[in-house]
Chains A and B, each alone.
Chain A
Amino acid sequence: MSRPRPYLLLAPALAVVIVLFGGGLLLAVGQSLGLWPIIGPSQLSTAAYRTMLADAAVWRSLALTLWVGVVSTAVSTTLALICALALRRPLRGQRWVNFLFQLNIPIPHLVGAIAILFLFSQSGLLARLAYAAGLIHDPSDFPALVYDRYGIGIMLEYVWKTTCFTGVILLANLQALGADYEAAAQTLGAGRWQRIRYVTLPLLRPALLSSSILVFAFTFGAFEVPFLLGQRANSVLPVLAYRRYVDDDLTTRPEAMALSVLISVVSLALIWGYRRTINNGQRAMSNEQ
């Protein structure tokens, strides 16, 4: 096989990644540093970053983004673990349960957010059930779960989708691991919880870590759900960046770019963490054998 062949075959894909993806990121960094502005002179400067770091709204937004990300990831990973442990034994109707468990993975987040709105808003289905049960007398008595300051509706949507996503990954891992390790522990007298705690969980650790990183990275940069379900006063970083970008005041563009660069840097750091985790996981697995 001739030498230049693989590079030629890869040229179109690399063009997309380098020109569109890389070029887009580079232009964003450049514009955040004052180059190629929409209006005004092109001038290299860190003004946008200084404004961003001094802006209280940015810090509030960062806090909300981290809060939503950490809580969603923790809750969904825990639930996914419970689901995977419950679903791994093939019982009757297994194929249907497996099919339904993955059902929401290809559903767009926008529709998930709309469904959450219909269920959890103050005039939503849950509120009406509370009224029927005599718990509330008015929509405003029902706690604000959407458009609220803690992003509860946003987290509910993330948990709904990412639990199934992580659960599927964990199930695949459990099936690949097989029952041997736990069977061996059982012959040595380990009870059910002991087996889970000392055998299954450590074996699943790489998968748990890597899918947690993926989920957190996703929530950190996600736009649609918080755009629909978030409140106006304080929103997550991607929504804040978008609002600054489409602002009538064109001088806020560099700040918007700076925010989006910040989001990208965090995500890149997370890719690095992800690769570290799976590499360690692979090394651990091969050591086990």
Chain B
Amino acid sequence: MINLFVDIQKASDEHLMAQAAKGNSRAFAIIYDRYAGKMQWYFLRMLGKDAELARDFTQDLFVKLAEKPHLFDISKKFSTWIYTVAHNMCKNEYRKQSVRHHIPGDDYGVDRKVSGDNDKDLEMHVDKNTFEKMLEIELNLLDENHRTAFLLRYKEEMSIKEIAEVMGTSEGTVKSRLFYTVKKLSEKLKAFEYN
């Protein structure tokens, strides 16, 4: 027997956006629930862990979406599209001001004398969350293009093609950026690996 009534919660993003464009607030609310957290996390990572700024960016993004839901091209994949918008917002922000690379001090429990990228100068006290904290630091030190590619790949599990579409670049460029980022991070963080 055909199930005629499909749960709206299981509807695709594209279908929900099509309904939102017609004024279906319930559909839009579901889209918000699905992506608000992800976008806020993305902005948090991309904007130097500035929580307030990340919240503002998330609000701006969804307000724009609420005002003009019909701008979404339903022939595209929604997740790719929304990250493209978010990426462009971050790029504009970078142009406006240089984003401070938030390098925490002693409160992270790490004594670190940074001298360029020289690992030999690094002294540390390893605590429970050191790896995560250092990951945050190193990500903030990355170029925004490398950071974007890395986050989209290993957090959102996007394909190379989708990442290229978000960033407006070629797949080859995305591949090389990813490889370089993983390699560099592993070098920086190998001291904090579990034994």
Decide if A and B are genuine partners.
no
B residues touching A (Cβ–Cβ < 8 Å)? none
